[in-house]
Structure 1
Amino acid sequence: MTSRRKGADVLVAGAGPAGSAAALALATAGADVVLVHREHPSRWHAGESLAPTARPLLEHLGILDRVTAHGHRPCYGHHSAWGQDTVTASDFVGGPYGSGWHLDRPLFDRSMREAAREAGVSHHSGCVTAAVPAGDQWRVTVSGAEVVAPYVVDATGAGARVARRLGARVLATDHLVAVATVLTGAGPQGDTARGNTERTSLIESAAFGWWYTAPLPSGQHIAMAVTDPDLVARAGLRTPAGWSDALATSRHVRERLALCGTRPPQRLTVLRAGTSRLSAAAGPGWVAVGDAATATDPIAARGITTALATGITAAGALTACAGGDEHALERYADLASAVHAEFLRARMVCYRAGRRWDTPFWTRRTEGRPVIGLGEAGRVADARPGSWR
């Protein structure tokens, strides 16, 4: 038997950066918001970099100082050996927004949830198990309870669990994976070297795909091999020993990790890293944000920035819709589709520039098939003014 909570304007399913941004922006606009979130204490976080282009988005939400003041480290740019032996640098310092951040990701997510809560968002522990239309409302079952609201936001990640219940389809371009680990330094040598890595991330192409490494706020390093699922075994990436042997064939990533005195990996985690989008990022009474709307290859380094941008933009569209703009959600869906299409075009350029091998990974991405590249971080679209009261 379920209990009913009446009076909510919006239910947001998922409290990652996209869901929290949407909930916070909606609450700031005056909406009564329920944010559904299930804690996963054992979930492994790879750690991520946040680009400087996220700065105006965090300022828009009023939380820049709150979520970046403590626990994170500056990221001064990206280095890459992409389609060549030499390393090229893309530095943030001279840009309009300054440095980015190497995030303590669990801390970042908690900070955003806390900001949403302080703005008046109600938190509900659990997950959405059903969403049924009832007139102009949704009756949403959340782990045994029922929430009634006219609008639903899907922020459940690339699986888009809620939107699929409402009839949307996930359209996958590929099923890229990252075989990742967190490496610990061997002692004083690693501690000293960490101060000389310039707080940059590093990408290096390889026959099976590409390598990525970056320092974490903890003093450890994230390192991952990115490839297609059917190539993992062929590249020897299934075991820590095989992964280490593959790393030894790299040049720049191997040298950086050796400089930092990192120990061999003890554990590997396979992370979903594919590109996909929803057939439509919105419909009558619902929107999808973040990876649920548009999930992109990590080569773009834009995941969290896009999450924030789509959360803010979707909140504006919902507010406009509640204020009588009948086309607000349709415009949001069109924008999400256009941003994803732009990304697909740019990723083709990116992977063509990185090709050095006639191997399956690269031929799949450079011979007329859909591929992944560096796209725009996302835009915040202005919606017509609306009101929740």
Structure 2
Amino acid sequence: MINTKYDVVILGGGPAGLAAAIAIRTKTDASVLLVDRQHQGEVRVGENCPPETVLLLKQLGVAKEFYRGGHQTCPGYASVWGRDTPGYNDFIVNPQGPAWRLNRQAFDKMLADRAESCGAQISWSTRFIDAQKHSNEAEGFTLRLVRKSEDRECEVQARFVIDATGSTACFAGKLDINKSVDDELFATVRFSTLAQGRGSKQIQLEAVEHGWCYHSLLPAEKVVSMIVTEKKHLVSLRENEFQGFDDALQNTNLIGSSIAKLDLKESSYHTYCIRPGMLAAAEGSNWMAIGDAVASFDPIAAQGIYKGLSHGLQAGKKVMTWFENREQNNSNFSQQVKNQYGDYLRNRNHVYSLERRWSNAHFWLNRSSNNIDYSQLIKNES
């Protein structure tokens, strides 16, 4: 049962929100409610994370559970990008070890179990509707929520709110804080079960004329494949119940030959709109946005889970400082977000600039000619 008052309400139950709940409860005695519109165990996109992720999991106290969670190491990347032959980037020289291919449902459950064991309350299948800010800062916000099981609204008072609602940044939007969007992409994702065959443990990337493709084997005999493109090319991918998607992957060089060796069954298809961008403000006196809510990246960056966990840990520090002495809360989170986003933009544009085989194709032309004033994004706050 949801109470009427909490010290902290976290909107969003992905890695960022769950990490924030863990960090807050391990640093403070604050009462924490986390709500998420999805039901527990629902499939989320994001199945790989860099080696450094383990350092964050240690800080969250779940590293041992992670190693026992059936996740699998990734030796590196194989890519056809900027040339017709594959290139390789191995993790063997990384001091943190290999990257990881996740059993995402087990990963999310691990974080949720840890959050609840720390004393956070989680309400799944609960949708955030609106927020009203009180003139008295000590009272914080009144949030309107709807639990799907009850199909009726309830109101919750929160002294501090954390927006971890993903790229939509629902709470920030209610405060009239909008995201500056610098691109729009569409990802079509296919999840399948491996019936027979043996594929490479490397993550595979391949550039094509109208976008790029991604393919990876996952734990528990699962396989994920993705095509990232622009909206006008979605129709062809959806033709004949996504036969167009299957054909497009088969026509690639590296990924197509890998998939040809696999017998896949129980495939499901999902399409997502991706709008990379950054919020005009990352935080206020008694709220903050974290993860994709504050800064959403192009999936080519492969930083979503790491960024979410990192921001969640920083949320724990900010909330602890806020409750101890809110007059002296000198958070530098906003500047960190700006710096992080500036680094991301430079890296993304560099990666896209490497592909010149289709320099006149709309997809590549758009992403090689972005004129971005990085100095405005990473300048020091006055």
Q: What is the TM-score when the length of structure 2 is the normalising length? A: 0.87
Is 1:216 the equivalent of 2:255?
Answer: no
Looking at structure 1, the residues matched to 50 and 262 of structure 2 have their Cα atoms a distance apart, in angstroms, of 23
Partner residue in 1 for 2:336: 335
Give how far 1:250 is off: 0.9
Is 1:27 the equivalent of 2:25?
Answer: yes
Give how far 1:38 is off: 3.5
Looking at structure 2, the residues matched to 62 and 4 of structure 1 have their Cα atoms a distance apart, in angstroms, of 27
Give how far 1:285 is off: 1.0
Give how far 1:279 is off: 1.2
Instruction: Identify the match of residue 142 of structure 2 among 132, 136, 139.
Output: 139
CA contact (8 A) 1:73 1:101 kept: yes
Please give the residue correspondences for 1:30-41 in structure 2 after superposition, counting only pairs within 5 Å.
Answer: 30=28, 31-40=30-39
Structure 2: which amino acid aligns with 1:178? A
Partner residue in 2 for 1:321: 322
Give how far 1:9 is off: 1.8
Looking at structure 2, the residues matched to 39 and 291 of structure 1 have their Cα atoms a distance apart, in angstroms, of 16
Is 1:165 the equivalent of 2:174?
Answer: yes
CA contact (8 A) 2:46 2:305 kept: no
More strand by percentage? 2
Please give the residue correspondences for 1:159-308 in structure 2 after superposition, counting only pairs within 5 Å.
Answer: 159-187=168-196, 190=197, 193-194=198-199, 197=200, 199-233=201-235, 236-239=236-239, 240-262=242-264, 267-308=268-309
Give how far 1:269 is off: 1.6
C-alpha spacing 1:3/1:305, structure 2 compared with 1 (3 Å): closer
CA contact (8 A) 2:23 2:315 kept: no
Partner residue in 2 for 1:378: none
Structure 1: which amino acid aligns with 2:227? A
Structure 1: which amino acid aligns with 2:99? G
Matched residue of 1:52: which SS?
coil
Residue correspondences, number? 359
Matched residue of 1:150: which SS?
strand
Q: What is the percent sequence identity of the aligned residues?
A: 31
Matched residue of 2:166: which SS?
coil
Looking at structure 2, the residues matched to 79 and 365 of structure 1 have their Cα atoms a distance apart, in angstroms, of 22
CA contact (8 A) 2:46 2:304 kept: no
Looking at structure 1, the residues matched to 205 and 371 of structure 2 have their Cα atoms a distance apart, in angstroms, of 23
C-alpha spacing 1:23/1:329, structure 2 compared with 1 (3 Å): farther
What are the Cα deviations for residues 237-266 of structure 1, in whole angstroms up to 9, with x where unaligned?
Answer: 123222222223210000111123446x85
Partner residue in 1 for 2:379: none
Give how far 1:281 is off: 1.2
Matched residue of 1:19: which SS?
helix
Identify unmatched segments of 5+ residues in structure 2: 147-152, 374-382
Looking at structure 2, the residues matched to 97 and 257 of structure 1 have their Cα atoms a distance apart, in angstroms, of 30
CA contact (8 A) 1:283 1:329 kept: no
Looking at structure 1, the residues matched to 253 and 342 of structure 2 have their Cα atoms a distance apart, in angstroms, of 34
CA contact (8 A) 1:318 1:328 kept: no
Give how far 1:41 is off: 6.2
Give RMSD over aligned pairs: 2.3
C-alpha spacing 1:266/1:28, structure 2 compared with 1 (3 Å): closer
Identify unmatched segments of 5+ residues in structure 1: 372-389
Give how far 1:59 is off: 0.7
Q: What is the TM-score when the length of structure 1 is the normalising length? A: 0.86
Partner residue in 1 for 2:69: 70
What are the Cα deviations for residues 47-105 of structure 1, in whole angstroms up to 9, with x where unaligned?
Answer: 51121111111111111112342232222222211111222222223211112221111
Give how far 1:13 is off: 0.8
Partner residue in 2 for 1:149: 158
What are the Cα deviations for residues 79-134 of structure 1, in whole angstroms up to 9, with x where unaligned?
Answer: 21111122222222321111222111122111101100000112234122222122
CA contact (8 A) 2:32 2:120 kept: yes
What are the Cα deviations for residues 324-372 of structure 1, in whole angstroms up to 9, with x where unaligned?
Answer: 254746521221122112211221111001232020000001123459x
Looking at structure 2, the residues matched to 42 and 26 of structure 1 have their Cα atoms a distance apart, in angstroms, of 23
